Amino acid sequence: MRISWWTSVIVWQFADFTRGDQVVLQDDRHQAARPRNVAIVGAGAAGASSAYHLARYAAAVGIPVNITIFERNDYVGGRTTTVNAYNSSEHPIELGGSIFIEKNRIPFEAAKAFNLTTSSASLSSRSSDIPGAALGIWDGEHFVVTQNNEGSWWDTAKLLYKYGLAPIRTLRLMRATTEKFFQMYDAPIFPFNSLTQAASDVGLLAVTSATGEQLLRESNIGRLFAREIIQASTRVNYAQNLDHIHALETMVCMAVEGAMAVEGGNWQIFDRMIEESNATLLLNTPVKALDHDASSGTYTIHTGSDSNQNFSALILAHPFQYSSLSPLPATIHTPAEIDYVTLHVTLFTSPRLLSPLFFGLAPDKPAPHAILTTLPEGEHAPDRKTVGSPGFYSVSLLRQVTSPTTGASEFAYKIFSPAPPTPAFIARLLGVQLTASGELKSEDVTWLYRKEWQSYPYEIPRRQFERISLGDGAWYTAGIEGFVSTMETSALMGKNVARLVVDQWIAEGKGMRGHHEV
Ligand SMILES: Cc1cc2nc3c(=O)[nH]c(=O)nc-3n(C[C@H](O)[C@H](O)[C@H](O)COP(=O)(O)OP(=O)(O)OC[C@H]3O[C@@H](n4cnc5c(N)ncnc54)[C@H](O)[C@@H]3O)c2cc1C
């Protein structure tokens, strides 16, 4: 039996694509139709997927479409983006969405279709000639787990000895849960006008409305395994502990087999989707306001430039509360705010390995390469924002890199933490001294990059999800983030909205009412 699934550092799942897209037969009645102008606000996974699928679905029924994507950043990808270590394009490092798996149907299929090269993101793919275990789970005082490589029979034996049947029960539970999710990709669930209804139809509301802790307890999964393994995964993936994160997202964290990334950056998937869609992409173009003319059903987009543009459909493909678009016109629904995690991602390069002393190891015992954290026995997070005594979520040695200035071999690291790591923290982590003025020495940390993200929602248990149709040709993708927040799920919602938009056009062409959420 292979139980390598639990050892991956970052754990994202989704979808068993055995069936292709819903096929819509060519409908000649639309051939001579006027082009539909569609505005998409946001060029992340959701916006790119909306554009890509909209172009395909519209073409399949002969509806001409002009898609314009407005993006306030100077790059495509949103939270899926890379930065270059040493500011050198030879060393891109994922700053946000890092990993997807083969069952992540949309990025996986798109990467294949676009001939993008993917490489394994599993621990065993990392350099084995660096001293130290591949993975350690640290509770602020001790390593409660260390793993040398992925899935050896000895690791498996140790796992079963320590945790009994909990790993197997978790695997079964994860598979049963994600199988329900996969139903959302195909008819009769897809396309769905209401995420709440779709989640109910596939039987997932029971897991979105319970905490991870409740589900694991009810499923007879031992507390030790839950705390040491599953909680380490919910912390590294979502900066949340089992008492607060909902059970569906908890199961997503355990679905890890075949983790991969696109070489050079996952953003390329979304870049290529936009290219394929023939959309007009306007980078550095924040949408500042929207008007809605209810009599003609058109939207006017204000970007601050002189020329305002009119559209008959509008897709808001971003978390609304961070868009500066509030208030929306009163004629359409305004998405409710939900609380997002503030996550600090710190990337740096150093010739040093992590200090064993930081983690309470003997000086001659190398620290593991990827260090996840969990709460120590008896410690509970009183609220969803508490990181607990470890003080951070994870620190990972990503790979060996060659410094372009010295030619020396160094290590690239990534830290996830609730606050920016101080120079003193990084110095302790590397076992080095600060300068007299309290700075990191440039020979110890040769490149450093800090980013504060509103990374994903606090995945609190819930039974209701934000509307998809905001009314009168306006659509919203980010409601899916309170359900599951991944590149895949944003891309799924983009695809779902694309299908709904084109179905509505088809229905209008037949003189029928379109799909509207009530
Ligand atoms: C640190 C981190 C690690 C992660 N790791 C993973 C992982 O390993 N695997 C995984 O699957 N997911 C991961 N995720 C989650 C994943 O990155 C996101 O769920 C996904 O990228 C969200 O895509 P989106 O298109 O919905 O939103 P976004 O990527 O946020 O895109 C929205 C876009 O809208 C733009 N925008 C907003 N307002 C306006 C406006 N007014 N005008 C114009 N443009 C606007 C924004 O600039 C942005 O580009 C991670 C996220 C973070 C932050």
272-305 confidence digits (pLDDT tens):
999 999 999 999 999 999 999 999 999 999 998 7
What tokens does 439 get? Answer: 């700075």
Residue 160, in any domain of the structure? yes
> Ligand 1 centre and the CA of 392: distance in Å?
22
Interatomic CA distance for residues 197 and 116, integer angstroms: 35
Residue 413, in any domain of the structure? yes
Return the closest-CA partner of residue 106 out of 28, 48, 173. 48
**Taking 70 as the threshold, does the pLDDT of residue 19 lie above it?**
no
- 247 and 331 in a single domain? The answer is no
> Ligand 1 centre and the CA of 510: distance in Å?
37
Residue 517, in any domain of the structure? no
Ligand 1 pocket, 10 CB below 6 A? yes
| Atom of ligand 1 minimally distant from the CA of 485 | 19
Q: Where are the beta strands (DSSP E) in 121-172?
A: 135-138, 143-147
Q: Can you give the three-state secondary structure of 91-104, one letter per residue?
A: CEEECCCCCECCCC
Residue 391, in any domain of the structure? yes
Question: What's the complex ipTM?
Answer: 0.99
Q: Output the CA–CA distances (angstroms, integers) from residue 193 to 304, 321, 466, 492, in the order listed.
A: 33, 22, 11, 13
> Ligand 1 centre and the CA of 345: distance in Å?
14
Ligand 1 pocket, 487 CB below 6 A? yes
* Alpha-helix residue ranges (DSSP H) falling in 164-278: 166-182, 195-201, 205-208, 212-218, 223-225, 231-238, 247-253, 267-277
Q: Where are the beta strands (DSSP E) in 251-387?
A: 260-262, 280-282, 289-293, 298-302, 309-311, 313-316, 340-350, 370-373
- 487 and 395 in a single domain? The answer is no
Residue 289, in any domain of the structure? yes
Mean pLDDT score of the chain: 90
| Atom of ligand 1 minimally distant from the CA of 48 | 25
**Taking 70 as the threshold, does the pLDDT of residue 125 lie above it?**
no
Q: How confident is the model at residue 373 (pLDDT cuts 50, 70, 90)?
A: very high
Burial 323-338 (b: 16+ CB within 10 A, else e): bebeebbeebbbbeeb
| Atom of ligand 1 minimally distant from the CA of 478 | 26
- 355 and 249 in a single domain? The answer is yes
Task: Please check whether residue 260 is in contact with residue 103, taking contact to mean a CB–CB distance below 8 angstroms.
Answer: no
Interatomic CA distance for residues 1 and 250, integer angstroms: 23
- 243 and 321 in a single domain? The answer is no
pLDDT at residue 463 in the model: 98
**Residue type at 210 in one-letter notation:** A
3-state helix, strand, coil in the chain (%, to 5): 30, 20, 45
pLDDT at residue 190 in the model: 98
Residue 96, in any domain of the structure? yes
Return the closest-CA partner of residue 502 out of 1, 13, 36. 36
Q: Output the CA–CA distances (angstroms, integers) from residue 210 to 206, 214, 245, 460, in the order listed.
A: 6, 6, 8, 9
Residue 514, in any domain of the structure? no
Task: Please check whether residue 444 is in contact with residue 493, taking contact to mean a CB–CB distance below 8 angstroms.
Answer: no
Ligand 1 pocket, 222 CB below 6 A? no
Interatomic CA distance for residues 492 and 376, integer angstroms: 37
Smallest CA separation from ligand 1 atom 48, residue:
78
Ligand 1 pocket, 344 CB below 6 A? no
CATH number of the domain enclosing 480: 3.50.50.60
- 434 and 388 in a single domain? The answer is yes
Interatomic CA distance for residues 183 and 269, integer angstroms: 24
- 332 and 346 in a single domain? The answer is no
Q: How confident is the model at residue 431 (pLDDT cuts 50, 70, 90)?
A: very high
**DSSP SS3 for 207:** helix
**Taking 50 as the threshold, does the pLDDT of residue 486 lie above it?**
yes
- 102 and 236 in a single domain? The answer is yes
What tokens does 264 get? Answer: 């050079």
Domain count, the chain: 2
Q: Output the CA–CA distances (angstroms, integers) from residue 288 to 72, 310, 325, in the order listed.
A: 10, 14, 6
List the domain range (segments joined by +) for residue 490: 33-79+266-336+466-509
Interatomic CA distance for residues 305 and 39, integer angstroms: 16
**Taking 50 as the threshold, does the pLDDT of residue 15 lie above it?**
no
Higher pLDDT, 147 or 316: 316
- 317 and 395 in a single domain? The answer is no
What tokens does 437 get? Answer: 């003025």
> Ligand 1 centre and the CA of 433: distance in Å?
37
| Atom of ligand 1 minimally distant from the CA of 325 | 41
Instruction: Choose one of 75, 79, 340, 490 to mutate for the ligand 1 pocket test, by most ligand atoms within 8 angstroms of C-beta.
Output: 79
- 240 and 351 in a single domain? The answer is yes
Task: Please check whether residue 247 is in contact with residue 214, taking contact to mean a CB–CB distance below 8 angstroms.
Answer: yes
Burial of 413 (0-12, 13-18, 19+ CB in 10 A): buried
Ligand 1 pocket, 44 CB below 6 A? yes
Q: How confident is the model at residue 100 (pLDDT cuts 50, 70, 90)?
A: very high
Interatomic CA distance for residues 68 and 163, integer angstroms: 53
* Beta-strand relationship, 409-417 and 340-350: antiparallel
- 361 and 492 in a single domain? The answer is no
Instruction: Choose one of 318, 341, 489 to mutate for the ligand 1 pocket test, by most ligand atoms within 8 angstroms of C-beta.
Output: 318
In the predicted model, what is the mean pLDDT of residues 82-93?
Answer: 97
**Taking 50 as the threshold, does the pLDDT of residue 2 lie above it?**
no
Q: How confident is the model at residue 515 (pLDDT cuts 50, 70, 90)?
A: very low
Task: Please check whether residue 443 is in contact with residue 351, taking contact to mean a CB–CB distance below 8 angstroms.
Answer: yes
Ligand 1 pocket, 66 CB below 6 A? no
pLDDT at residue 103 in the model: 85
H or E stretch at 423: helix 423-430
Q: How confident is the model at residue 57 (pLDDT cuts 50, 70, 90)?
A: very high
pLDDT at residue 77 in the model: 98
Residue 22, in any domain of the structure? no
pLDDT at residue 123 in the model: 55
**DSSP SS3 for 124:** helix
Q: What is the pLDDT of residues 141-163, one digit of tens each?
A: 999 999 886 556 667 777 888 99
What tokens does 404 get? Answer: 């372009």
Q: Which position has the token pair 């037949």? A: 510
Task: Please check whether residue 340 is in contact with residue 436, taking contact to mean a CB–CB distance below 8 angstroms.
Answer: no
Q: How confident is the model at residue 326 (pLDDT cuts 50, 70, 90)?
A: confident
In the predicted model, what is the mean pLDDT of residues 486-514?
Answer: 89
What tokens does 271 get? Answer: 């870049």
Q: What is the pLDDT of residues 245-255, one digit of tens each?
A: 999 999 999 99
Phi-psi region of 169 (alpha: psi -120 to 50; beta: other; left: phi over 0): alpha
- 54 and 92 in a single domain? The answer is no
Q: Which position has the token pair 């709440």? A: 196
- 246 and 297 in a single domain? The answer is no
In the predicted model, what is the mean pLDDT of residues 108-125?
Answer: 85
H or E stretch at 110: helix 105-113
Return the closest-CA partner of residue 391 out of 362, 433, 361, 358. 358
